Amino acid sequence: MNISQQEWWEKLQEDSNAVILDVRTADEWHRGIIPGAVNIDIYKGQGFIYSLEELDKTKNYYVYCAAGARSGQACNIMNQLGFATTYNLMGGMNNWSGPVAMPEE
């Protein structure tokens, strides 16, 4: 489901079953992340699918990329794999005005 930044952030704050998923490349990841995010690069192809299969499908996934296109694709793939709840951040990091952290090495 594509949702606005405000709705995405509000839902996330109230969701005790949330996982924040960043599907950008490692280079993009190292420029700053939404705090608490985990990174699985959608460009890894089959590796992306394998990594998704290891995730808990009962969680609610808040997915983002740079602009919203890759994360939209990721949500579609996740839904096909049986993930019940995925939220795509429209506009991605390019339009993000919320908190940003540097990933820990």
| pLDDT value at residue 55 | 98
| pLDDT value at residue 26 | 96
For each successive 10 residues of the chain (105 residues), what is the average pLDDT?
A: 96 97 97 97 97 98 98 98 98 96 87
Long-range contacts of 55-58 (CB under 8 A, 24+ apart): 55/19, 55/83, 56/19, 57/81, 57/82, 57/83, 57/84, 58/17, 58/84
Q: How far apart are CA 3 and CA 27, in angstroms?
A: 25
Domains, the chain, ordered by start: 2-95 (3.40.250.10)
| pLDDT value at residue 105 | 67
| pLDDT value at residue 20 | 98
